[in-house]
Amino acid sequence: MTVAGGAAGRLAFVTPRYGEGVVGGAETAIAEAARGLAGRGYDVELLTTCAKSHVSWANEHEPGSFREHDVTIRRFRTAPPASRLVAAELEGRVQRRERLSAEDELAWVNSRFKAPDLQLYLGANAAGYDAIILAPYLFWSTIYGSAVLPERTIVMPCLHDECYAYLGVVRHMLESVAGIWFLTDPEHQLGHRVAPGLAPRHRVVGSGVDVPSHYDPAGFRTRHGLERPFVLYAGRREAGKGWPDLLGAFASAILGGGLPFDLVSIGGGAAGIPEGLREQVIDLGFVSSEELPNAFAAAEALIQPSTNESFSRILMEAWLAGTPVIANAAGEVVAWQIERSQGGLTYRDEHDLANCLYFLAEAPKAAEALAANGREYVLSHYRWDIVLDEMERSLAPFCSRTR
């Protein structure tokens, strides 16, 4: 292989948001993959917007380029939708699973944000990359970016079994690009359901998780004034991630009495804790990336109520910290991860969740054994060296051409 500068290949990663304060598993995974491949000798750029919030898409960063972790980061301004009323109307139709015309589907894609300068930059420079990797599937940057040079494009869709996945524009994208990186077997199976003509160069590459060098659970409890044992929710506080349902289920569980746990929440979005729960539900808001491992280690268990997951990074981080997981059984991916790892419990309703919490309180040794299973599972399947090996195997046909 002859590549300018002796690099293993030249890659562009495209993601709608990047940087400290961005809460999102897909954004984290693609940023860490970019850094990991840069560390293996690839010449890597990451193209993103100036936005932090996936709700407002406001430009909170300055546009321009800089170097970070051996990756060139290029930020581009977002443009707001022409009409928020039209955007809301289109979103409602998609949520109701109405059949939309191709024009209406594209109008929906354009209704949250656009980044015209990012598109122009990618179009002008696409031929200089061996591969263009985009994630996640449902945003303007991925839908439009995938059409620039599809024969050199890999999409890491981070698919969920939700209304957006069944749009025609998503199916067309998954069938027209050169390659697809799936994170889990259930996501791969979903990919075949939503796009029967799935791009032939697709593979399950997984997602890597860094292994912290140490944990400080006692310090975390002290720094945040947490005196009682607690179970942890980590993620965006929104309906799509199951937060309101968890609040209701936790309230029902503690009404029965005898449970020694508080519920601690970390992440973005308004927590909206009802008045009657404020003694036992504690919102810490956003915590730094340095403090996050300590939160997992300090918890008695992580609760994952979300059904919209393609990997669920927080499960892996909890298991690495020696913490068992309690997850919503309706989430195909998280239920698969727990069954495969034997690292936790699943619940189907409020009664099930209460039983899981009673098990946690009454059988701490058994809970420790679950957590140990989970840690071994992560170390065996989702270390970054394992995942990067898979990504490099997928990239080999793209980077083998002579430039």
- Kindly report the number of other CB atoms within 10 A of residue 39's CB atom: 14
At 192-249, the pLDDT tens digits run: 999 999 999 999 999 999 999 999 999 999 999 999 999 999 998 988 899 999 999 9
Asked whether the domain spanning 217-381 has the same topology as the one spanning 4-208+383-399, the reply is: yes
- 217-381, what's its fold? Rossmann fold (3.40.50)
Radius of gyration of the chain (CA): 21
Residue with tokens 């390659």: 179
Quick one: pLDDT at residue 23?
A: 66
If you count them, how many residues does the chain have? 403
Architecture of domain 4-208+383-399 in this structure: 3-Layer(aba) Sandwich (3.40)
Quick one: pLDDT at residue 400?
A: 79
Quick one: pLDDT at residue 353?
A: 93
Sorted by sequence, the CB contacts under 8 Å of residue 265 that are 6+ apart come out as 232, 233, 234, 237, 243, 271, 281, 282, 283, 284
How far is it, in rounded angstroms, from Cα 289 to Cα 293?
A: 8
Among the residue ranges 12-26, 41-55, 145-159, 368-382, the one predicted with the least confidence is 12-26
Q: Where are the alpha helices (DSSP H) in 96-159?
A: 102-109, 116-125, 140-145
The amino acid at residue 267 is G
- pTM (2 decimals)? 0.91
Q: Rounded mean pLDDT of 167-180?
A: 97
pLDDT of 25 higher than 90: no
Quick one: pLDDT at residue 1?
A: 31
Q: What is the percentage of the chain residues whose pLDDT exceeds 90?
A: 81
Where are the chain's structural domains? 4-208+383-399, 217-381
Q: Which residues of 368-388 are buried (b: 16+ CB within 10 A; e: fewer)?
A: eebbebbbebbeebbbbeebb
pLDDT of 403 higher than 50: no
At 258-312, the pLDDT tens digits run: 789 999 999 888 888 988 888 899 999 989 989 999 999 999 999 999 998 999 9
Q: Rounded mean pLDDT of 126-152?
A: 96
Quick one: pLDDT at residue 401?
A: 60
Quick one: pLDDT at residue 5?
A: 41
